[in-house]
């Protein structure tokens, strides 16, 4: 049974590793291969800056002392066209632990955190061509908006899911 805990600064390198590995497994054929190949475990600066500044809040999932996934949320979405008081920035679970309920546990814990911080809503953005829309829909997200984004020089469809908090 996975345990969910608040991340520490020492967790950032493993968070970065899970991020890169999950992108490389889950986004093959969606984002350009060269973009995936150029991702690096060592590029942790954004994770560290957000963590240290308090801008981003992370929970991690552990099973048998192994970090198997994480979620990152923030108050006050950075995206002006999406009117929301909270944003799910990232949620990634190692390939072999996907579809085990870990993502759902992380999602619920993060939504509870945002609600306790007086957020009345939360958004989550994802690529339409990925498997993530199935997850966000299962978590009862409502499609709020979609737009085009450029990743690695390729134009992709991005979907924004909206959630009222607290979750029902």
pLDDT digits (tens, 9 = 90+) for 13-56: 999 999 999 999 999 999 999 999 999 998 877 889 889 999 89
Q: So what's the pLDDT on residue 5? A: 97
- Cα torsion at 137, 167, 115, 1 (round to 10°)? -80
pLDDT digits (tens, 9 = 90+) for 101-119: 999 999 999 999 999 999 9
Which of the four pLDDT bands, split at 50, 70 and 90, describes residue 59?
Answer: very high
Which of the four pLDDT bands, split at 50, 70 and 90, describes residue 83?
Answer: low
Residue 85, pLDDT above cutoff 90: no
Q: So what's the pLDDT on residue 35? A: 95
Q: Domains in the chain, please, with CATH? A: 3-124 (3.40.630.30)
Mean pLDDT across 131-144: 95
CA distances from 85 to 10, 20, 73, 115 (A): 28, 28, 11, 9
> Do you find a cis peptide bond into 166, omega within 30 degrees of 0?
yes
Mean pLDDT across 69-95: 84
Residue 81, pLDDT above cutoff 70: no
Beta bridge partners of 60: 5, 70
Which of the four pLDDT bands, split at 50, 70 and 90, describes residue 86?
Answer: very high
Q: What does the block give as tokens for 98?
A: 């996907």
């Amino acid at each position: 049974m996975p345990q969910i805990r608040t991340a520490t600064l020492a967790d950032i390198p493993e968070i970065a590793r899970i991020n890169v590995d999950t992108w490389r497994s889950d986004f093959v054929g969606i984002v350009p291969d060269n973009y995936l190949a150029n991702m690096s475990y060592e590029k942790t600066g954004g994770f560290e800056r957000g963590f240290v500044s308090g801008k981003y809040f992370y929970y991690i999932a552990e099973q048998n002392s192994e970090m198997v996934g994480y979620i990152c949320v923030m108050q006050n979405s950075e995206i002006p066209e999406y009117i929301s008081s909270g944003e799910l920035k990232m949620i990634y679970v190692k390939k072999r632990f996907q579809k085990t309920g870990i993502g759902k546990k992380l999602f619920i814990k993060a939504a509870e955190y945002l609600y306790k911080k007086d957020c009345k809503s939360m958004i989550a953005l994802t690529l339409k061509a990925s498997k993530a829309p199935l997850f966000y829909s299962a978590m009862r997200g409502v499609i709020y908006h979609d737009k085009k984004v450029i990743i690695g020089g390729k134009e992709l469809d991005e979907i924004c899911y909206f959630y009222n908090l607290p979750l029902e």
